[in-house]
């Protein structure tokens, strides 16, 4: 049964895009659908915040243009903190792992590539995030799952507060401090046991110690745990 748009409450969408022509095209397309009420503004943090403050907004549709990606994420983060009820869709062209993870960390509920999908699918995306759902494809979901399952690091500093180890070495320290054996550390990081031994040898040299016990004591006294991060294979 088709919804009765005369009585149902329209979804208020704010379109923010630095490219004027694309902004106007998206605006015109939404206005042909009575289930949406749409406004538009420039891709600017202050303009987006002002638009949200001045009128009701249910969903923001923000363009992640490569030259303005930081501005888009900054706007989403600010609005997400001050207006948590507003859902956010970020339009990105072929986002990589870091772009996907950063977008969801900033409060995005949906990722959409307008050049790869028809406008009717964008309408469904907006409706889905407005209902509290997440709009993401399988590849991007894998990026998020991989990030969640990454090993946390333990930042090790010297007496002057300077970092002594590479990100991968910090992961090895975190796992050793948790009591894992070389074989278990290797399994956790998908590396060989021989590689873990080499990492430990380098860590011992950098810190000036000679045993795992000393490493654990050093990490407890001068370590600072941090969030899990993705470290590509082969990274030192």
Q: What is the pLDDT of residues 172-196, one digit of tens each?
A: 988 888 888 899 889 888 899 999 9
Q: What is the pLDDT of residues 9-18, one digit of tens each?
A: 899 999 998 8
Any residues with CB less than 8 A from the CB of 198 and at least 6 apart, and which?
A: none
The pLDDT of 46-60, averaged and rounded, is 92
What is the model's pLDDT at position 37? 96
Over the Cα atoms of the chain, what is R_g? Answer: 23
> What CA–CA distance (Å, rounded) separates 160 from 107?
36
Q: Which of 229, 226, 210 is nearest to 218 (CA)?
A: 210
- Asked which of 23-27, 71-75, 104-108, 172-176 is least confident by mean pLDDT, the reply is 71-75
DSSP strand pairing (223-226 vs 153-156): antiparallel
Question: Where is 190: in which H helix or E strand?
Answer: none
pLDDT bin (cut points 50, 70, 90) of residue 230 is: very low
What is the model's pLDDT at position 78? 86
- Asked which of 64-68, 129-133, 148-152 is least confident by mean pLDDT, the reply is 64-68
What is the model's pLDDT at position 15? 95
Report H helices in the chain: 20-31, 45-54, 69-82, 97-105, 119-130, 138-148, 167-177, 182-189, 193-207, 212-222
Q: Is the domain 150-226 a CATH 1.10.10.10 member?
A: yes
Question: Where is 90: in which H helix or E strand?
Answer: strand 87-91
Question: Which token pair is 97?
Answer: 């792992």
> Judging by beta carbons within 10 Å of its beta carbon (0-12, 13-18, 19+), is residue 159 exposed, middle or buried?
exposed
Q: What is the CATH number of domain 11-146?
A: 3.40.50.2300
**Structural domain boundaries of the chain?**
11-146, 150-226
């Amino acid at each position: 049964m088709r919804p009765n748009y005369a009585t149902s409450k329209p979804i208020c969408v704010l379109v923010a895009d630095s490219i004027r022509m694309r902004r106007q095209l998206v605006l015109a397309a939404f206005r042909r659908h009575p289930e949406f009420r749409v406004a538009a503004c420039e891709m600017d943090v202050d303009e987006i915040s002002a638009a949200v403050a001045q009128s009701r907004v249910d969903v923001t549709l923000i363009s992640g243009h490569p030259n303005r990606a930081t501005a888009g994420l900054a706007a989403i983060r600010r609005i997400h903190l001050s207006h948590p009820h507003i859902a956010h869709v970020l339009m990105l062209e072929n986002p990589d792992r870091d772009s996907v993870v950063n977008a969801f960390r900033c409060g995005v509920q949906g990722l959409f590539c307008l050049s790869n999908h028809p406008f009717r699918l964008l309408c469904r995306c907006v409706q889905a995030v407005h209902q509290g759902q997440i709009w993401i494809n399988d590849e991007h979901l894998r990026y998020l799952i991989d990030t969640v399952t990454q090993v946390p690091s333990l930042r090790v500093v010297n007496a002057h507060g300077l970092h002594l180890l590479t990100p991968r070495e910090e992961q090895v320290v975190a796992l050793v401090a948790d009591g894992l054996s070389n074989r278990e550390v290797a399994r956790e990081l998908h590396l060989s046991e021989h590689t873990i031994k080499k990492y430990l040898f380098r860590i011992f040299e950098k810190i000036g110690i000679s045993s795992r016990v000393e490493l654990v004591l050093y990490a407890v006294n001068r370590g600072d745990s941090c969030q899990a991060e993705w470290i590509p294979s082969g990274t030192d």
